[in-house]
Amino acid sequence: MNIRYFDNAATTRVDDDVIEYMIPYMKEVYFNPSSLYKPSIMVKKAVNDARERVAKAINANSSEIYFTSGGSESDNLAIKGFAYANRKKGNHLITSCIEHPAVINSMKSLEKEGFEVTYLSVDENGFISLDELERSIKENTILISVMFANNEIGTIEPIKKIGDIAKKYNICFHTDAVQAIGSVNVDVNDMNIDMLSLSGHKFYGPKGVGALFVRKGILINRLNDGGHQEKGKRSGTENVPGIVGLGYAIEKACNSVDENNKKISELRDYYIDRVLSEISDVKVNGDRTNRLPGNANISFKYVEGESILLRLDSKGVCVSTGSACSSLSLEPSYVLLSIGLSHELAHGSIRVSLGKHNTKEEVDYLVDVLKEVIGDLRKMSPLCEEE
């Protein structure tokens, strides 16, 4: 069956030229970049080229880029690494209640170790309040961590304004930009970002590799003990094919952000508009304009997300849901509950995340199939007849 893939926020297909670029680093130039003989020098250079490319993509300096195994590790290293290194300055951290689990759970771990964490609330579109942020800052606040763009509802936070507040109070500002890189233009200097997490497989690069930007002068502790790699901040032999692939992919993605975004956001609006006009009792979650170009999160009343997802799956359509039934917990998405959705609406949410390969024909197919599936499931739903 033809697969129609609408889950680019989960992961993307690696571009063919990225794969081609990576292959030699598994075959001919497989050497350990830490070795001293000549063949290794080429590998070390390739890793540093990738570092340059990542730095250039976010307007940082290459000495400020550390490669990791992905977004989750970058978040852990940034938050815990910074908290441990700066504990003498204070033990209060500020984050939002809709962060990725890598951030939320890092914060929870730190709370168990005596750190104090403020979780900022969000409004009905998923935006934090700058007032609340400023009011939450205390003498002992050392870190603010707010995601660039939300993975579920696509809301893009006011990063530059958060950066300005952090700078005003001389507090370190970390952002999880895993969903943003390649979809939004990011400039760590203009936006006063001190630490930034990113992950290769969200912008048509490989999985299992990510990076953390740490501004010069910001101290972080290493989390795993080992060798001297990544200036001692992230031990372990470098994932060279992954790193060079990430470097190639980020350069390519950031060079075509504007061009891709125009196409992808038009397709997203076309999808949302068709659903709104052709399916009754739906709610668009997140902000209509200030959201990731590819993200469309919609709740379908009276029906449950896992059922929608699996019915779509049997028609070859891949999407995701914030319903509890798709997860191991029995609670629906905390992000959707945080923006004020009822449990019932959160259970009926479907996230479509479009990428550069999606076409209008595919979106038409998606909407047609969705209409059929929603209609079918609603006929079966006891909640429909009550209304």
Partner 1 sequence: MYSEKVMDHFENPRNVGVIEDASGVGTVGNPVCGDVMKIYLKIEDNIIKDVKFKTFGCASAIATSSMATELIKGKSVDEALNITNKAVAEALDGLPPVKMHCSVLAEEAIKAAIEDYKSKLK
Q: Summarize as ranges the residues that interact with partner 1 (CB under 8 A).
A: 302-307, 310-311, 314, 323-326, 328, 330, 332, 342-344, 347, 379-383, 385
Question: Which residue, 354, 359, 268, 341, is CA-closest to 300?
Answer: 341
Instruction: Give the shortest CB-379-to-partner 1 separation in angstroms.
Output: 7
What's the Cα-to-Cα distance from 85 to each of 89, 219, 223, 272, rounded to whole Å?
9, 6, 11, 45
- Residues 371-379: contacts with CB under 8 Å, at least 24 apart: 371/278, 371/279, 373/308, 373/311, 373/312, 373/315, 374/279, 374/300, 374/303, 374/308, 376/311, 377/302, 377/303, 377/304, 377/307, 377/308, 377/311, 378/302, 378/303
Nearer residue to partner 1 within complex by CB, 197 or 349: 349
325 flagged as catalytic: yes
Query: Each residue of 201-225: b (16+ CB within 10 Å) or e?
Result: bbbbbbbbbbbbbbbeebebebeee
172, 254, 318, 325: the catalytic one is 325
CB of 342 to partner 1, least distance (A): 8
Q: How far is residue 54's CA from residue 31's CA, in Å, rounded to a whole number?
A: 22
Specify the length of the chain in residues.
Answer: 387
Instruction: Find the shortest distance in angstroms from Cβ 308 to partner 1.
Output: 10
* CB nearer to partner 1: pick between 252 and 347: 347
Of 1 and 328, which has the nearer Cβ to partner 1? 328
Distance CA 178, CA 71 (A): 6
**CB under 8 Å to 194, separation ≥6 — which residues?**
166, 172, 173, 174, 188, 214, 215, 218
Question: Of 106 and 307, which has the nearer Cβ to partner 1?
Answer: 307
Q: What span, in angstroms and rounded, lies between the C-alpha atoms of 135 and 118?
A: 11
Structure tokens at 270: 């076309």
Quote the least distance from Cβ 304 to partner 1, whole Å: 5
Nearer to partner 1, 57 or 324 (CB): 324
C-alpha Rg value of the chain to the nearest Å: 22
- Given the complex with partner 1, which of 321 and 358 has the nearer CB atom? 321
The CB-of-341 to partner 1 minimum distance in angstroms stands at 12
- The owner of tokens 């961590």 is 145
Q: How far is the CB of 364 from partner 1 (least distance, A)?
A: 23
* Minimum CB distance to partner 1, residue 160 (Å): 39
Nearer to partner 1, 224 or 314 (CB): 314
Residue 231 is classified by DSSP as G
Q: Which amino acid is at 295?
A: N
Q: Where are the beta strands (DSSP E) in 65-146?
A: 65-68, 92-96, 116-120, 141-145
Catalytic residue positions, numbered: 325
